[in-house]
Amino acid sequence: MRKFIHLTCVLFFASLTVNNNLFAQSVRADSSSQQNALSSAINLFYASERNEAPLYNGPEYYFYDPTIKGNAYFSEVNAFTAGSVFYDGVLYNNVLMLYDLYKDKVVVLLYNHFSKFSLVDEKIKYFDFLGHHFINIDADTVANKTEIKSGIYDELYLGKIQVLEKRVKNVQSNSVGLSGPESYFNFFKDYYLKKGRNYYKFSGQGALLDILKDKKKELQQYIRSNQIKFRKDPDDAMVKIATYYDRITN
């Protein structure tokens, strides 16, 4: 009953808007214009009633200057793709989204498939996108604040220890273009391991084994026996090493 009254009110005010516009313009009634106005009012009504509405309360998002080479997005995917996000205490599924690595922002597409919004950082707990599980870390809540910053991290492994990957893009410039300097998105990444209550930043296999030094010999033997190649596939290597470390650790 409440929804019916709400819809009736929306249609009433939309009708007033159409009539006022027709009077001000002193033109003959245009049935298509009336229909468009009424359709917009109905869409607004249903949008206000959707359970997903709290998702779309962040700042409006704009795409980048198209003259910048490449793009700012995770896995180079610049088309909105369905994912899920735990946001402000609620899990939302089948959300059309992008992950902007330059701004470290999750961007969602409104159900009108036109408007774009950035989610509010502190309301994001985690999200799943393109086969990856991302978590939002507030550095003020962790014990060791020198090794990790607030932001979104790809959780590669979670057991007794945790392995995270931080993907970042920045904008670089060069002067090799035929028409002058060119700008492009540059990608890099860092790795973090949480052991106990502390986060440690590392860049390679040797640094990882130094953090896990209590089982370093066993891990070195495991790596050799299983022909694990860190440089060839760092993500896979870290997951296997972390899994084995957990297995042999009390």
pLDDT in tens, 159-184: 999 999 999 999 999 876 566 788 99
Neighbours of 61 (CB within 10 A): 18
pLDDT of residue 2: 37
pLDDT, the chain, mean: 82
Read off the pLDDT band of 145 (50, 70, 90): low
Q: 22 pLDDT exceeds 60? A: no
Report, as an integer, the average pLDDT of 95-120: 93
pLDDT at 11 over 90: no
Report which of 233, 191, 188 is spatially closest to residue 212, judged by C-alpha positions: 191
The pLDDT of residue 237 is: 96
Could you tell me the pLDDT band of residue 43, with boundaries at 50, 70 and 90? very low
State the Cα torsion 115-119-120-123 to the nearest 10°: 140
pLDDT above 90 for 143: no
Nearest to 63 by CA among 91, 98, 34: 98
Pair 102, 171: CB distance under 8 Å: yes
Region 85-99: mean pLDDT is 94
Domain residue ranges of the chain, discontinuous segments joined by +: 2-49, 124-248
pLDDT at 216: 97
Residue 230 φ/ψ region, left for φ over 0, alpha for ψ in the -120 to 50 degree band, beta for the rest:
alpha
Contact between 85 and 119 (Cβ < 8 Å)? yes
Q: What is the mean pLDDT of residues 215-242?
A: 96
Phi, psi of 249 (to 5 degrees): -105, 135
